[in-house]
Amino acid sequence: MTITDEANTVAGAVRSGRVRDMELALTSGCAVDSRDEDGLTLLMLAAQGGHVEVLRLLFKQKATVEAKAEDGSTALHLAASKGRLEAVQLLLELGAVVNSVDAQASTPLIRAAEEGHTDVVRHLLQNGAAVNAQANSGRTALYWAAVGGRLETARELLNHGAMVDLADENGATPLTVAAQEGHRDVVRLLLEWKARIDTVEADGGTALMLAAQNGHADVVGLLLEWKSAIDMVAAGGATSLMLAAQNGHADVVQLLLEGKASIDTVDSRGWTALLLATQRGHAGVVRLLLEWKAAINTVAAGGGTALIFAAENGHADVVQLLLEWKATINSVAANGWTALMLAAQNGHAGVVRLLLVWKASIDTVEANGFTSLMIAAQNGHADVVGLLLEWKARVDVSSAKGFTPLLLAAQNGHRDVVRLLLEWKARIDTVEANGFTSLILAARNGHADVVRLLLEWKASIDTVAANDVTSLMLAAENGHADVVRVLLEWKAATDTVAANGWTALMFAAQNGHAGVVRLLLVWKAAIDTVEADGFTSLMIAAQNGHADVVGLLLEWKARVDVSSAKGFTPLILAALNGRTDVVQLLLEWKAAIEMVEIGGGTALIVAALNGHADVVRLLLEWKASIHAASAKGSTSLMIAAQSGHTDVVRLLLEWNAAIDTVEADGWTALMFAAQNGHTDVVRLLLEWNAAINTVEAKGFTSLLIAAQNGHADVVRLLLEWNVNFDATSAKGFTSLMIAASNGHRDVVRLLLEWKAATDTVEANGFTSLMLAAQNGHTDVVRLLLEWKASTDTVEADGWTALMLAARNGHTDVVRLLLENKAAVNVKTPNGPTALLLAALFGRLNSVELLVDRGALVDLADSDGFTPLMAAVQKGHLEVVRLLLEHDATVNAKSRAGDTALHYTARTGQIDVIRLLLEHGADVNVGGNNNCSPLLIAAGFGNVEIIELLLGQEASIDAQDNDGDTALHEAVYKGQFAAARTLMEHGADVNVANAIEWTPLMAAAQRGHVDIATLLVEKDAAVDVRENAGRTALSLAAE
């Protein structure tokens, strides 16, 4: 209901319990369920205030008893929370729901228990309140009574059946929270009601742990009397003793120790109760633990001991105590740090003195070679440094990287420490690993007071570090003007050069430190020195856009037109990087505007390249040549167009740039813009009447270039401007062909809509469809077919689109062409079909498609070479299987007479041979020169194939037209293993060929001694003669 002023007035009457005022308000028409500014109804306000008579009046006026506030509270919740017993009784009589829940699922009982209103709790329970109801967090009325130490409320709840161990969502029970809060009487009550004493919360904590952690000694004592497990551990391994020690509860520690708590248990980090107490500085607890014989030198996971932690945190009383109890004084942590080092790091002078008195090792080094003195110096603890020096710490000790205490103090600007070390005779010019001295480090980091101090102590001012940098260079680089001034006053060399040729002036100029630049110039720094690449300070400042530095250098007469090794001038560098203010300044100082860098670029050209329109305008106003060209002939207009800088292109055109100038390869600004798809630039050039049909050296026009690169919007624009639609490149390519070849579907569609001829051919006879098919551009192929492109046009060698797609394995294209009636069995003049090509290149999916669409599996080329032969020759096993399953003739012969088995015998594909044999391949068929597959395998020495063929009853002594057998062939080729296998299978060792040569004669004549020996062992005839009368011996002698 809407809140009104009237409602707020009535609410005031309710809060005050003014019944008469209420009656008048209601009689005057005030709504009975009105709400105040907090959203409470009149009934809720009366219940909250315990105004029973007002409640009766409101109820008579039909007030909604179960109305809820924004937090879900009802009138009963509010009465219960405030302990208004009579109001609770009346509300229940009037029908209030006893177990109504608010937004957090709390009931009136939970609210009353939380506040300890025992009489209200009792009445609610007597009227059916759910004693174990849980709010959203899982907390019950008993839980809240325990939290607040409400003893009588808790007793009442227990008497009415409250579950003593019902836990919340975090595992906390009434016992654990009562112990945590220190409510001893509630803890005792819960224990008497059999609460589980060692229940653990989600984090592993028990009632004993929580009481110990919070120092509730009386609760701890009670829990121990009730036999709570004293050494249980929480999730991180902490015990009750650890928690008490960590928080300094000495009385609890005493109790736990008397209860036999394990004193040296370690948690997951290796920490004991003693370590935790020492870290926090609880001297009383530490003393107590030591008296109870705690292990004093236990090491935590990181290597820390009790003494180390106490020293680190500056607990001098604990350190004293540990030393008196014989703690090992020089123990080291995992990183090599000792107690002395940690105390020195944190500036705990008292602890440092104490450790030294107890004979701590003063010059121990940690993992990086640092000593306590170095650590104290690094952190600027002058009192600790002085103390360590008095105790004879080595003043010039150095770390692994060469740092000494003086270097570390100087680097960090600790002037008092630096002075102290110098007074103790620290070597002033020691260098660390990179050659840095104390002076260099102080100068680099801008510590002017330290720099002055070191110079007063005679530090070498011009020492060079790595890369030959000096103190002055580093101070200048980082803009430390006060340091630079000090160094100059002490006569630092201004013009020393670093390894790359840089001077202090260059470093300052690079980073725009005008104050430092002025200082160096006043002190006569050389202004035009050049570094390794030929850059001067002016060039460096100009490149980085530091106009104030540029102006300063020019005022001091820096050479304005100096050029680098690559021809860059200050003006070109400023223009290249878009430094308009610097360009203006240089021009005012008469910088030469037309100088060129090594690539022929002028300031105008490089500004156009990077799209710096403001610089371009400025240069044009200063009469820069708009027609100047780079080494390749590119003008500012071309370069801006190529890079897509529309604003620069417009500016150049307005200044009358020549729009159709061509560079070395014949390209124009329009072509460059078209190439890179800069539509806005293309439109602008066309509006300025750029020649649209100019051709470059290879015959490409802007349209061809845009089509090649897939820029459909540029293509459309050119078409709308009446570009020569039929222009072709030097090789006869049209825009449609180029787009199709590169798979630019959107461009292809656009060109087709503009009536591009689909079947035009280029110099080699390729059509757009062929080019798209060859490269596997399925979407383009589909589009061309929709526009009626011819599927069966042949190029110069007789290839069709289907053949090209099949050869390259573009299955989707093959399918698409076949669906569009492409001729499946057409042959080239040399004879290969699409199927043969797909088989030859192992395109299994394409082969399957072609066969399914009627490709003839035995259709051979002009040499009689079949798809099966092609597949076996290349070892494409699955293609071979597919062809055989589709009834390819396994024993078909090529024009040379060979079968598929012959070809496979040559390539040695054993799996393919097995497959052919399974499909009936003839093992004894004669091929070219009547050679059998066995004879071929023998010549190639493939023993596995020989064994396989012989197992299939291959004729072992079959002869070719020259009379040679497989054994002859193995001998000719020196195939020892093959020859031996054949002989083992009974090959005739004395068979003679057409000229009466036996295998032995062949072995002798070829010099194959191992095979000849084997033949003789197999009883080969030694003295038999061939046609010319020679024996094996005489042949060997020849």
CB 639 within 8 A of CB 627: no
Quick: pLDDT tens for 578-589.
999 999 999 999
Residue 825, pLDDT > 50, answer yes
Average of per-residue pLDDT values in the chain: 95
Provide the pLDDT confidence category of residue 190 given band limits of 50, 70 and 90: very high
Reply yes or no on whether the pLDDT at 24 is more than 70.
Answer: no
As given in the structure block, the two tokens for residue 171 are: 């595992």
Tell me the C-alpha to C-alpha distance, in Å, between residue 780 and each of 407, 758, 815, 821: 72, 12, 14, 17
Does 524 have pLDDT greater than 50? yes
Q: What is the pLDDT of residues 285-302, one digit of tens each?
A: 999 999 999 999 999 988
Strand partners, 629: 635
* Banded model confidence at residue 1, pLDDT cuts 50, 70, 90: very low
pLDDT above 70 covers a percentage of the chain that reads: 97
Shortest CA distance to 108 belongs to which of 119, 118, 120? Answer: 120
Q: b or e along 118-149 (b: 16 or more beta carbons within 10 Å of the residue's beta carbon)?
A: bebbbbbbebebbbebbbeeebbbbbbbbbbb
Query: What is the model's pLDDT at position 19?
Result: 63
Phi-psi group of 775: left, alpha or beta (phi > 0 → left; psi -120 to 50 → alpha; rest → beta): alpha
Bridge partners of 626?
Answer: none
pLDDT at residue 20 tops 90: no
Average pLDDT over residues 245-249: 98
- Apex 768 CA angle, 767 and 774, nearest 5: 90
Q: What is the pLDDT of residues 944-981, one digit of tens each?
A: 999 999 999 999 999 999 999 999 999 999 999 999 99
- Does the pLDDT of residue 2 top 60, yes or no? no
Q: Which domains does the chain have, with CATH numbers?
A: 296-427 (1.25.40.20), 957-1038 (1.25.40.20)
At 635 the three-state DSSP class reads strand
Say if residue 5's pLDDT is above 90: no
Tell me the average pLDDT across 799-818: 97
For the ranges 51-65, 269-283, 664-678, the lowest mean pLDDT is seen at: 51-65
Polymer length of the chain: 1038
- Which of 882, 883, 939, 948 has the alpha carbon at shortest distance from 909? 948
Which residue in 364, 373, 318 sits closest to 345, CA to CA? Answer: 373
Among candidate residues 621, 553, 606, the one with its CA nearest the CA of residue 582: 553
pLDDT at 316 over 70: yes
Q: For 890-919, how does the pLDDT look when each residue is reduced to its tens digit (9 = 90+)?
A: 999 999 999 999 999 999 999 999 999 999
Q: Is the pTM of this model over 0.85?
A: no
Residue 59 and residue 65 in contact, taking contact as beta carbons nearer than 8 Å: yes
- Return the ∠ at Cα 1015 (arms to 1013 and 1021), rounded to 5°: 115
